[in-house]
Structures are given as C-alpha cells and as structure tokens.
Chain A
Amino acid sequence: MYGWRGRILRVDLARGECKEENLDPQVAKDYIGGRGLGIYYLNKEANPKCDPLSPENMLIMAAGPLTGTSAPTAARYMVMTKGPLTGAVTCSNSGGHFPKELKLASFDVLIFTGRASKPVYLWVNKDKTELRPAGHLWGKTVPDTANALSSETDPRARIACIGPAGEKLVLFAAIMNDKYRAAGRSGVGAVMGSKNLKAVVVLGEGSVPLADKERFNEIQERVLTKFRNAAKAAPSPLSQHGTIGVMMPLTQKCGVLPTKNFLQGTFSGWEAITGQTLTQKYLQKTVACWACPIACGRFTRVEEPGFEGEGEGPEFETGFALGALCMVDNLAAITKANYICNDLGLDTMTMGGTIACAMELFDRGYLTEKQAGGPIKWGDAQKLIELVKLTGYREGFGNELAEGSYRLAERYGHPELAMVSKRLELPGYDPRGLQGTGLNYATSPIGGSHCRAHMAYCEMVGIPKPIDPHEWKGKARIVKLWQDVFAVIDSAGLCIFFTIRNLLQPEIEIFPEGILEYLNAVTGAGYNMDELVKAGERTLNAERMFLVKAGFSRKDDSLPHRLIHEPFSEGPAKGKVVHLEEMLEEYYEERGWSREGIPTDAKLKELGLR
C-alpha cells in the first residue's frame, strides 16, 4: 500500500502480547485513516456501554495516510477511545513528531486492549515491538519520563506518555507527545493510566511510500509557492504571535471571549494575556510540528518569581481557559499553570473550565472556604497555580477538581454552572454571538469541542468566506458539511490551521479539493470528491452510532442554560442567545437522522454502516 503502511499493531496488555495484522485496503479507503479508522475499530470491537476506565475499554492511536509525508502540516494523529470525562466517544488530536515516527515505523494504527498487571511501556523499534516494565517511570512527570525513555531506548525515538495525572486517573488527563504536544481532551490520558501503560516509544526509518511521487511534487510546488507568496506579502499572524495572538484579540473585539465562566463576552485584562504580550515578554523561539510551514508553537521562558519555568505554550485555548475564564490577567501565572499542566499531563482547557466553575460556585456561596480548602476568588493567580498542582496529583480539593466541572457543579447542587456539552468544557468562543458554533458544540460527537467544525472561522473572521454569525436559519446545512469535511482533515492526518486556508475550496461550501489531490497522489486510491466527503460523513455517523449505543440522544445535544437563556447585556453580541432547538431540528433533517437524533436505517445503508 502507498500512504497507508498497511499494518496495525494490536497490544494485549493483559497478556503482554503484541501482534501485527494487515489493514484491509477497502476499510482504509472507506475510513481514510486517523479518526475514521479509529471509530471503525471502536464500533467493531469496543463495548459502547463499558466503564471507560475498565480493562474493557480500548485505546486506539491512529495516523492518517498523509501523516509523515511532507504534505504541509501532515503531522497529526488521533487518540480514540471512550472518554472517561464524557462517557462519549472521543477523538483527541495531536501533532509534533511522534505521529510521523509511527508511520515511519510502518504502522497506521496501534490498538491497546486490557490492562497490564504492572506499569509497562511499548517500545516500537523499527520492525521490533516489545512491552517493557515501566515501574521505574511511574510517578514521573512528562519531561522526566521522556528524558528517561530517551536514554534507555534511543535518543532519536519519539515518545507519547502520561504524567502523574494520567496515573491518578484525573478525568481530563492528556497523552503528551514530544513533551509539549497534547492529545488533550476527554481524558484519554486517564484511559492510558487505567491500562498501566505509561508510554509509547517509537523509532522508524525511511519515508512514507508515495503512489505518484511526481504528481505529489507538482502539488507541493503549487501549494507551498502560493503559501510562501502570501506570507511574503504579509506573514501569518499565527507565525508571528501564535494562536493566542490571533484569537485573543479577535474574540475580544467580537465580544465572544468567554470570560468569568461565560458570564461575560469581553475581558478587561485581555491585552495583558494576548500573544503580542507573550512575544514581548516570554517568547524564546517559535516551534513547528513536522512538515509545518506556519510554526504556531511558542517556546517560552518565564523568570518572574513564583512563576519561573520554561516550555511550550500557552496556546489560545489555554490562555482563554486559565486566563479570561478565571479572570486571571497575569500572563506569567497562566504560562506557569500551562507548564504544570504539561508536566503533569492535564488538559488545559478542562482545567481552566473547572477552576472557573469552582470560582463561580465559591462566589455564589455554594462552595465554602472549608470545602475548598480556602477561598477561590476570581482572578487569583496564585490560587490558579496551587489548584492546578493539587488537581494533577488529586490532592486536597484538587481531588474534586480532577473530576471536571460537571461533576464538581453537580456535587455542590448547581450543575447548570458547568459550561459543558456532553460534560466536555467548552472552547474559547462564546456561541451566543456565533450561532453555528453553538450548534457544532452541541452536536460534536466528543462534546464541547471547536475542532469538529470550527465555525468561528467563517462566523467570526470570514474565513474562507463571511457568514452572518447571528443568523441561525440555514446554519445546520453548513455545520453538517463542515463537520464532515473536518472529519476528512482529521482522518487524512492534516492540521486544520493550514488546511482551512490552503486545501479547501475557498467558499462556505468547503469541499476538500486540495486534500483530494494529495490523497490520490499519496495513496493512489483514486478517490473522487463525493467518496471523500462521504467518508467524512461515514465517520460522523459511525461516531454517532457509538454514542447511540452508549445511551446518548437528542437530550445530550445540549448547551448550558446560560447560553440559551441569558443574553449578553453589551458588546457586538448584545441581546443574543443560542437558538439551539430550532437549529437542531434543521440539523437532524440535514443529517438524515430521526428527531431524536438517531441515524435512520436509510442513512446508515447509504453510508455502508448497516
């Protein structure tokens, strides 16, 4: 096979066995790879009703056919499992260099089942695979684990691992790779911890074989020349100031920067925590994932007393969640909290969302000083740091924060104060000012995620074309197409940031014409546009079927009460709430699902899912 390596590694942790099998070429074509292949195996073999932290759950790491090629931003892989934070399917995406190395080691997919009796790590050394004891690594932070594994395997190897948070089963623990990149959402790190799997270490060789190298080079030349010419006229602000320097000012200007646990849409302290300030005060160098011409990563160093450290971050989502959402305007503290999250292996978004929820519970008197081990006040930078540390180790009040905001708010009698969808904390775009964004949060298979269809691009900044953010009628059709195409991006192994501007049709109808070209040159599978978009739709429907079997339905396609009933009193989104129920009606119809949100037999047959 070309593009795909045609091999899957099954790791039975209970028996301590690794077994290779071949990837079925038709399955590969129908599901593309990454996220698509992940849900294929989950639906085929996992029990959707299982306890996510039991040995019965499966953990899948899957790269796409483009991953590891030199196609721009072909650096991504997906971690798929049943998420412990949400009980929903999850697909948690990460870049860096680990995914590329997995492909160079000739694997498309790793499937972990069962639970090891003692801590282990997987060592994939070219064509040799083995499970090794990891007792000596248990308890170590992410960088300490990575450094130790580099020494005892090969310094060229790439490493994905969990930190103490994953071991302690924090429900939003991340799987960190290349030290600073995170498959962050829904608690994939806790699933890894529950399996006693500390790390996956991979070393490959050579390159990913291409079906039509000449054609691939032609596409590369055209795409990269266009990108470079645009960058020459005006370099991307993403390269200059990172994601935090792009989205912080834009969400603030548009009045959709979630602030004070979504009580406000603007933050008076935003300039202190934006990317421009980060560049001036802490940026050491920019960092790129494999094959990325953008380099939005930030390697930073903080020297202020009490917040000293260095590492990558913060990204926008981290800056909004640990900053505006908690009313913290101290960038040194936010950056330090980010470093601790990276070290312990925590999702910064759910961490910030959960602390913001605790702050509101405390502010309203639902959570007392005694219960919280001291006051938890809006904007308290020192407290932020303290709570992140406690959470990562499940110590003191951190043990309650480790369950995420929904369980925390429910415990104190006010679940409506958890800003979640399907129990996953919402990203940094308040949907009251962005209707399609709200519909996507509510219908995203993993819960409150922007990455399943980043509607803020068109609704907020007019990319690739502007669309009225406040209009809800007709949004369902766009959200459906965007979700399907984003599933194609995730399955191919590409990053959204480059793809949205360079590999999709520059219209609201974002057909993936550039991905189609790349996929055909790389795999030789002869996709047409209809097949490709259908593959995305198939993935969405397969994920939906996993949810349906796990007990999810329309009632779970929800948003917090605040976003549907409490309009902003000022700003560009003044007076607006999300028209979710109206949009859901349209959405299910567009999808060919019942009014309860269940795919019809006809739809499943059309997609080859029945």
Chain B
Amino acid sequence: MIWVDVHLFGYIARYSPTGKETFRLELDSEATISELLAKIQFPSEVERVVLVNGHQANFFTRLADGDEVFIFVPVAGG
C-alpha cells in the first residue's frame, strides 16, 4: 500500500472525502490517477487537470508512496 497527499484545488474541494482541500489517501501500490479518482468518486463530468509532484499527469500515471497530487479545474489566467 502507498500513501499520497491529495489537494483538490478551489471549488472541487467539495468532492473531497474528508471535506477538506488537502487530505492523505491510501492506495494500492502503483495505483494510477484513474484509480485515485475512482476511489474518491470524483465525478467524471467535471473537467480536471492533474499534477503529480509538479509534473503534468494523465489517467495512467502511476503513483508512488509520498507523491503529492494536485487536482484542479482547467483554467487559464495570470
């Protein structure tokens, strides 16, 4: 098993299993982003972008113990 730190950024924090923007989640070893999203029941109709340790990730990106996963609504600003 592995533990990852998940950050649901902004409005989508409402989909957090703990109700908080940041939480720690236990997953099977080498779990993918797809499995993480399924585990927290993240709605498929909500567009999202995922970063793992500051790098862009996709559904198939495999996670490792201690990874930081940052999920946000795609947005262009700044």
Interface size class of B (residues with CB under 8 A): 20 to 34
| Residues of A in contact, count (CB < 8 Å) | 41
Complex contact A501–B74 (CB within 8 A): yes
Known: A463-B49, A571-B54, A572-B55. A237 touches B9 (CB 8 A): yes
Residues of chain A in range 235-259 having any CB-CB distance to chain B below 8 Å: 235-238, 240-247, 249-250, 253-255
User: B21's closest neighbor in chain A, by CB?
Assistant: A276
A-B contacts at CB below 8 angstroms, number: 88
Complex contact A501–B76 (CB within 8 A): yes
Complex contact A238–B56 (CB within 8 A): no
Q: How far is the CA of A497 from the CA of B77 in the complex (A)?
A: 5
Tell me if A282 counts as interface (CB < 8 A to partner B).
no
Residues of B within 8 A of A572 (CB): 53-55
Tell me if B1 counts as interface (CB < 8 A to partner A).
no
Tell me if A466 counts as interface (CB < 8 A to partner B).
yes
Q: How far is the CA of A457 from the CA of B29 in the complex (A)?
A: 31
Residues of A within 8 A of B77 (CB): 237-238, 242-243, 246-247, 296, 316, 497
Residues of chain A in range 207-257 having any CB-CB distance to chain B below 8 Å: 230, 233-238, 240-247, 249-250, 253-255
Nearest Cβ on chain A to B61's Cβ, whole angstroms: 11
Nearest Cβ on chain A to B73's Cβ, whole angstroms: 5
Residues of A within 8 A of B74 (CB): 461-463, 501
- Per-residue interface assignment for chain A, residues 99 to 130, with 1 indicating a CB less than 8 Å from any chain B CB and 0 otherwise: 00000000000000000000000000000000
Residues of A within 8 A of B73 (CB): 234-237
User: A276's closest neighbor in chain B, by CB?
Assistant: B10
Q: How far is the CA of A70 from the CA of B75 in the complex (A)?
A: 22
Complex contact A234–B70 (CB within 8 A): no
Q: How far is the CA of A456 from the CA of B76 in the complex (A)?
A: 9
User: A433's closest neighbor in chain B, by CB?
Assistant: B54
Residue among B47, B54, B55, B72 facing the most chain A CB atoms (10 A cut-off)? B54
Complex contact A235–B11 (CB within 8 A): yes
Residues of B within 8 A of A287 (CB): none
Contact for A246 among B46, B51, B58, B78, CB less than 8 A: B78
Tell me if B4 counts as interface (CB < 8 A to partner A).
no
Residues of chain A in range 388-406 having any CB-CB distance to chain B below 8 Å: none
Complex contact B75–A501 (CB within 8 A): yes
Residues of chain B in range 15-61 having any CB-CB distance to chain A below 8 Å: 43, 45-47, 49, 51, 53-56, 58
Tell me if B64 counts as interface (CB < 8 A to partner A).
no
Give the A-binding residues of B (Cβ under 8 A).
9-12, 43, 45-47, 49, 51, 53-56, 58, 68, 70, 72-78
22 residue pairs from A and B, CB less than 8 Å apart: A233-B47, A234-B11, A234-B12, A234-B47, A235-B73, A245-B10, A247-B77, A247-B78, A249-B70, A250-B51, A253-B54, A253-B68, A316-B78, A456-B78, A461-B72, A461-B74, A461-B75, A463-B75, A463-B76, A466-B56, A497-B76, A572-B54
